[in-house]
């Protein structure tokens, strides 16, 4: 088994490092980046796209922050309201969602 010099970067601020790895380890690391058959690599979609960078930053801020629950006074009326499910209202038109059927995902073999 041979040895191969390999260069890598740990982050954008770190300089390039050179290390020697076995051929088997080099192939293992290389194959980590190969997609399975029929998979298509989608780059920069959704919040990852460059023109949605502000949404990515907003999501990071929301995930880093701590969420606190609002304190609700515990009386009989408020406890009855908690047990009832609130209907989902659409934010734009204000109409209430009517659930007709709950669809389960179809089972299929993994790709």
Residue 87 lies inside a defined structural domain of this protein? no
Residue 109 lies in a domain: no
Give the span between the Cα atoms of 63 and 55, in whole angstroms.
12
Judge whether 95 and 89 are in contact, CB under 8 Å: yes
Residue 63 lies in a domain: no
Structure confidence by residue, pLDDT tens digits, 58-100: 888 888 875 555 554 555 555 555 556 777 788 888 888 887 8
pLDDT digits (tens, 9 = 90+) for 9-51: 777 777 788 888 888 988 998 999 899 999 988 877 888 888 8
- Domain assignment present for 4: yes
Per the domain annotation, does 26 fall within a domain?
yes
The gap between the terminal CA atoms of the chain, to the nearest Å, is 33
Cα 25 to Cα 3, 18, 32: the distances in Å are: 9, 15, 11
Range of 27's domain? Answer: 1-56
pLDDT of residue 73: 53
In a domain, residue 14? The reply is yes
Q: What domain count does the chain have? A: 1
Instruction: For residue 79, tell me if it sits in a domain.
Output: no
**CB contact at 8 A, 8 and 81:** no
Taking the C-alpha atoms of residue 4 and residue 30, their distance in angstroms, rounded to an integer, is 13
Does 111 fall in a domain?
no
């Amino acid at each position: 088994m041979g040895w191969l010099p390999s260069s890598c970067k740990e982050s954008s601020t770190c300089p390039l490092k050179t290390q020697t790895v076995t051929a088997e380890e080099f192939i293992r690391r290389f194959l980590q980046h190969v997609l399975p058959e029929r998979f298509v690599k989608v780059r920069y979609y959704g919040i990852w796209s460059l023109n949605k960078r502000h949404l990515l930053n907003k999501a990071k801020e929301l995930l880093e922050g701590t969420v606190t629950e609002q304190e609700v006074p515990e009386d009989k009326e408020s406890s009855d309201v908690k047990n009832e499910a609130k209907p989902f209202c659409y934010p734009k038109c204000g109409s209430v969602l009517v659930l007709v059927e709950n669809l389960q995902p179809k089972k299929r073999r993994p790709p």
